[in-house]
Chain A
Amino acid sequence: MSTTTAQPPLKLQVTRLIKAPRERVFAAWTTPADIVKWFGCDDSIAKSAKIDLRVGGEYNIHIKKGGDRELDLHGVYREIKSPSRLVFTWNWKGSEGMDGEETVVTIDLVDRNGSTEVQLSHDLFTSVESRDGHSYGWNGCFDKMEKLVA
């Protein structure tokens, strides 16, 4: 990071072009059988997912880490516009340190000649002002990734 940059990203944004129609990509985000096939990273694997796909409905993704640790990722759907937009809250349970913080993820799916541009935005700042006393602790994926990129 440049030391002269006074304004860091306040929202994390990642985009990816996927060679599949939007309907298929939307289904991959909202179907338990799909989620367990792709969601997660190296030593943290989505083992099961429950989804109540309606505004105000909850999702829960059960994640098993390397070793015998398990944790849950859960939240509530705030906006559902198939096949173009999905907004949900994001909370950890059993994470040793990240429990208690709520962030918001927004997925926009844009058609690009039959392919889909996934525009993911993770607002990491929504929780910061409402939360105090909680400390962050990163583990699992992030530890592993850190080793990978070190």
Chain B
Amino acid sequence: MVNYQFDSLDATFAALADPTRRRMLESLSHQQMRVTDLAEPFAMSLPAVSKHLRVLEKAGLLKRRRLGREHHLELEPAPMKKAHLWIERYRKFWEGSLDSLANYLENNQPKKPKKRKKT
């Protein structure tokens, strides 16, 4: 079994469970940004933005670079990849089970799911 760092996975999901934070990541997926630029499209105070950024940072989704007095923000995609793999496992479980269900109902054969190849 792949040895995930489960605590970080929890932090990733918690961070992604908020639409504002997902939009922030979306913005950062195109380019590095200053905090003020990132904050601009959001109708919220800078402290509120900072709070969201701290959650993203804690989850490891965000890197900060200090350039003089400015903070530049950069997306760190590695934790999302882990979250994606976690979800994929459940997907494989259901795809296998639904294959088995189809086989049972269509051929009336109680048979466990076929081995699925990676697509």
Question: Interface 1/0s, chain A 108-150, versus B by CB < 8 A?
Answer: 0000000000101010110011011011111101110110110
Interface residues of B (CB under 8 A from A): 1-2, 4, 6-7, 9-10, 13-14, 16-17, 22, 25-30, 75, 77, 80-81, 83-84, 86-87, 89-106, 110, 112-113, 115-118
The answer to whether A40 touches B90, judged by C-beta atoms less than 8 angstroms apart, is no
| A52 located at the interface, meaning its Cβ lies under 8 Å from any Cβ of chain B in the complex | no
The answer to whether B1 touches A6, judged by C-beta atoms less than 8 angstroms apart, is no
Nearest-CB distance from B114 to chain A (Å)?
A: 10
The answer to whether B118 touches A8, judged by C-beta atoms less than 8 angstroms apart, is no
Complexed CA–CA distance, A148 and B118 (Å): 8
Interface residues of A (CB under 8 A from B): 1, 3-10, 12, 14, 16-20, 24-25, 28, 34, 37-42, 45, 118, 120, 122, 124-125, 128-129, 131-132, 134-139, 141-143, 145-146, 148-149
The answer to whether A45 touches B112, judged by C-beta atoms less than 8 angstroms apart, is yes
The answer to whether B16 touches A10, judged by C-beta atoms less than 8 angstroms apart, is yes
Which residue on chain B has the smallest CB distance to residue A125? B17
Known: A40-B112, A135-B7, A142-B89. 18 other contacts (CB 8 A): A4-B29, A6-B27, A10-B16, A16-B101, A18-B105, A18-B106, A20-B106, A25-B105, A28-B101, A38-B101, A40-B100, A128-B10, A136-B6, A142-B93, A145-B89, A146-B1, A148-B115, A149-B118
The answer to whether A1 touches B75, judged by C-beta atoms less than 8 angstroms apart, is no
Nearest-CB distance from A26 to chain B (Å)?
A: 11
The answer to whether A141 touches B93, judged by C-beta atoms less than 8 angstroms apart, is yes
The answer to whether B105 touches A40, judged by C-beta atoms less than 8 angstroms apart, is no
Nearest-CB distance from A68 to chain B (Å)?
A: 19
Interface CB pairs A-B, < 8 A, 22: A5-B29, A6-B25, A6-B26, A6-B27, A6-B80, A7-B16, A10-B16, A10-B17, A14-B91, A16-B99, A18-B102, A37-B110, A39-B101, A42-B115, A135-B6, A135-B7, A135-B10, A136-B86, A137-B6, A138-B1, A141-B96, A146-B1
Which residue on chain B has the smallest CB distance to residue A128? B13
